[in-house]
Homo-oligomer: A and B are copies of this chain.
């Protein structure tokens, strides 16, 4: 990564188009069959592309570090994921498709149970059903609007989880959680780490008091814990950083939110891969850069469902010719992180990567699998550098120095 200011100095515009096709969590390790999901899948179209492309492997964040979707996507979009940390509250808000601005402070909140003398009895309010949660959030909405000059909005999540968003000026996020992290101990309120965050602290703690007052007759959900209270990180948007008009074609809220965060236009209302491909065709003339997200490779990885993960890969492979027919100058297929089915979760294993562009070297890799990627021209490198490679293949980077 050469740094944001240098990239901005090197970037030049042209008419090329770049497709970043992300099969979330597609990287894998062999299961008892001795194969990974990519090895088990029949992918004639990706294989054909791999044979004329350059392959490699990318380290999502750092060797041995298993990333969440937030840091792994920032990395793929070319932002240092360690420098630009996204708070838990922001991620939770993105996950329910909220459109956050620079003046929003978001908290990941739990309904909890509290005794009359302020002891936390249950940090999840007995995992109340989601409908119960919706009823309680509606009750809060009727009674809470502004705290001082700060607009407070609450949104239901699943079971005991909800999201609180504070909108106003002068809200900073150097804060400690209002969460004792165990039961049988006194409740906690938000504390500040610096003086600029006092207004945020006072507003958040007023909300907790108001929630307690409004919910005092609830049996289980009679207080709340506020965690990961955070603002969107101040990052340069795609148009400023790369001079790219970018579009996200994704179906899940978290990924749409992350795309919005970096300044992409987000297409709403997509659900299946077929719909995503149709939409890609439809908007193809309107953008320079397309982030196309395949969610279910990750979902089935998390479920440990190898068969279903293989099927999603094959479904994507079937759609690939239609995508390639659009004729983008640069096409990249990769994952944001690995989600090996034998591990039923994210992992640190490097991501398979394929880049096809006009300036390819030869490499012996002939199919899009982990072992073939190991033979690829790119070797193993950091995912945060992928954007630079895509821009250069697209002829969008000038020479550095003379």
Q: Which residue of B lies closest to A348 (CB)?
A: B392
Residues in B neighbouring A36, C-beta threshold 8 A: 361
A257 lies within 8 A of chain B by Cβ: no
A29 lies within 8 A of chain B by Cβ: yes
Q: Which residue of B lies closest to A85 (CB)?
A: B401
Residues in B neighbouring A370, C-beta threshold 8 A: 361-362
Interface stretch (choices A60-68, A170-178, A194-202, A212-220): A60-68
Please report the C-alpha to C-alpha distance between residue A388 and residue B343 in the assembled complex, in whole angstroms.
18
Q: Which residue of B lies closest to A66 (CB)?
A: B399
A160 lies within 8 A of chain B by Cβ: no
Interface of A is mostly: loop
Known A30-B361, A380-B378; contact A401-B63, beta-carbon cutoff 8 A: no
Instruction: Give the number of times this chain occurs in the complex, counting copies.
Output: 2
In the assembled complex, the CB of A112 is this many whole angstroms from the nearest CB of chain B, namely: 20
Chain A window 345-374, contacts with chain B (Cβ cutoff 8 Å), 1 for yes, 0 for no: 111110000000001111110000011001
Interface stretch (choices A1-9, A148-156, A284-292): A1-9
Please report the C-alpha to C-alpha distance between residue A36 and residue B64 in the assembled complex, in whole angstroms.
29
Please report the C-alpha to C-alpha distance between residue A91 and residue B399 in the assembled complex, in whole angstroms.
14
Chain A window 372-402, contacts with chain B (Cβ cutoff 8 Å), 1 for yes, 0 for no: 0011011111000101111111000111111
Pairwise interchain contact B71-A401, C-beta atoms closer than 8 A: yes
Pairwise interchain contact A88-B374, C-beta atoms closer than 8 A: no
Query: Contact check: which of B71, B393, B398 meets A400 at CB < 8 Å?
Result: B71
A81 lies within 8 A of chain B by Cβ: yes
Q: Which residue of B lies closest to A364 (CB)?
A: B371
Residues in B neighbouring A62, C-beta threshold 8 A: 1-2, 385, 388, 400
Known A359-B29, A359-B349, A370-B362; contact A2-B65, beta-carbon cutoff 8 A: yes
Pairwise interchain contact B340-A68, C-beta atoms closer than 8 A: no
Interface size on A, residues (CB 8 A): 66
Known A371-B362, A402-B88; contact A63-B340, beta-carbon cutoff 8 A: no
A313 lies within 8 A of chain B by Cβ: no
Residues in B neighbouring A85, C-beta threshold 8 A: 401
Residues in B neighbouring A88, C-beta threshold 8 A: 402
Pairwise interchain contact B347-A389, C-beta atoms closer than 8 A: no
Pairwise interchain contact B401-A81, C-beta atoms closer than 8 A: yes
Please report the C-alpha to C-alpha distance between residue A380 and residue B88 in the assembled complex, in whole angstroms.
34
Chain A window 137-163, contacts with chain B (Cβ cutoff 8 Å), 1 for yes, 0 for no: 000000000000000000000000000
Known A10-B65, A68-B402; contact A363-B359, beta-carbon cutoff 8 A: no
Please report the C-alpha to C-alpha distance between residue A65 and residue B340 in the assembled complex, in whole angstroms.
33
Chain A window 40-69, contacts with chain B (Cβ cutoff 8 Å), 1 for yes, 0 for no: 000000000000000001000111111111
Pairwise interchain contact B68-A385, C-beta atoms closer than 8 A: no
Q: Which residue of B lies closest to A377 (CB)?
A: B374
Query: Contact check: which of B348, B360, B363, B402 meets A371 at CB < 8 Å?
Result: B363
Pairwise interchain contact B362-A6, C-beta atoms closer than 8 A: no
Pairwise interchain contact B2-A399, C-beta atoms closer than 8 A: no
Residues in B neighbouring A402, C-beta threshold 8 A: 68-70, 88, 91-92
Please report the C-alpha to C-alpha distance between residue A375 and residue B364 in the assembled complex, in whole angstroms.
10
5 of the cross-chain contacts (CB-CB < 8 Å) are: A64-B385, A64-B388, A64-B392, A92-B402, A343-B359
Knowing that A63-B381, A65-B400 are A-B contacts, what are 9 other residue pairs whose CB atoms are under 8 Å apart, sorted by A's residue number?
Answer: A2-B62, A29-B359, A34-B362, A65-B397, A66-B397, A71-B400, A362-B370, A378-B380, A379-B380
